[in-house]
Structure 1
Amino acid sequence: MMNKVFVDGERGLNLIYADTLRGMNRSMTKLPATDTTFHGIIPGKAAMPLGRISLDVVFGSPDNFRCERLDFEVVNWPSQYHVVLSRVALARFMAVSHYAYLKLKMLGPDGVITVSGNFTHSDNCDKEFHKIYESFGMHEVFEQLKASTGLEQSPVAKNPAHQPEFNKKADTKEVQVHPTDPSKTVIISTSLPPA
Structure 2
Amino acid sequence: MDGGSGLNILYVDTLDAMGIDRECLRPSGAPFHSIVPGKQAIPLGQINLPVTFGDSSNFRTETLTFEVVGFKGAYHAILGRLCYAKFMAIPNYTYHKLMMPGPRGVITVGSTTDVPNEAPNSNCKMGSFEPTKDIKEVPLDPWGG
Determine if the TM-score, normalized by the shorter chain, exceeds 0.5.
Answer: yes
Count of aligned pairs between the two proteins: 114
Q: Partner of 2:53: helix, strand, or coil? A: strand
Q: Determine what percentage of the aligned residue pairs are the same residue.
A: 46
**Residue identity in the other structure for 1:60:** G
Q: What is the DSSP-based 3-state SS (H/G/I as helix, E as strand, rest coil) of the residue aligned with 1:8?
A: coil
Unaligned residue ranges in structure 1 (runs of 5+): 1-6, 122-195
Aligned residue for 1:13? 7
Query: Which of these two proteins has the greater Rg computed from alpha carbons?
Result: 1
Is 1:52 matched with 2:52?
no
Please give the alpha-carbon distance, in whole angstroms, between the structure 2 residues aligned to 1:30 and 1:116: 31
**C-alpha distance in structure 2 between counterparts of 1:42 and 1:98, whole Å:** 25
In the alignment, structure 1 residue 29 sits paired with structure 2 residue 23: yes
Q: Which amino acid aligns with 2:47?
A: I
Distance 2:100 2:85 in 1: 10
- Number of the residue aligned with 1:160: none
What is the match of residue 88 of structure 2? 94
Distance of aligned partners of 1:10 and 1:42 in 2 relative to their CA distance in 1, 3 Å threshold: closer
**Maintained 8 Å contact 2:62/2:86:** yes
Correspondence for 2:103: 109
Contact preservation (8 Å) 1:102, 1:119: no
Give the aligned partner of residue 71 of structure 2: 77
Residue identity in the other structure for 2:17: G
Tell me if the contact between 2:41 and 2:69 (Cα under 8 Å) persists in the aligned partners.
Answer: no
Residue 115 of structure 1 and its aligned partner are, at CA, apart by 0.6
The list of structure 1 runs, each at least 4 consecutive aligned residues, that deviate by more than 4 angstroms after superposition, is none
Q: Extract unaligned runs of 5+ from structure 2.
A: 116-145
Distance 2:93 2:37 in 1: 28
TM-score, normalised on structure 1? 0.55
Displacement of 1:42 after TM fit?
6.5
In 2, the alpha carbon distance for the partners of 1:94 and 1:15 equals 19
| 1:89-118 deviation per Cα after TM superposition (whole angstroms, max 9, x unaligned) | 001000111000111111111111111113
TM-aligned CA deviation for residue 120 of structure 1: 3.8
The CA RMSD measured in Å over matched residues stands at 1.7
Q: Which residue of 2 aligns with 1:171?
A: none
Contact persistence 1:13–1:86 (CA under 8 A): yes
- Larger proportion of helix: 1
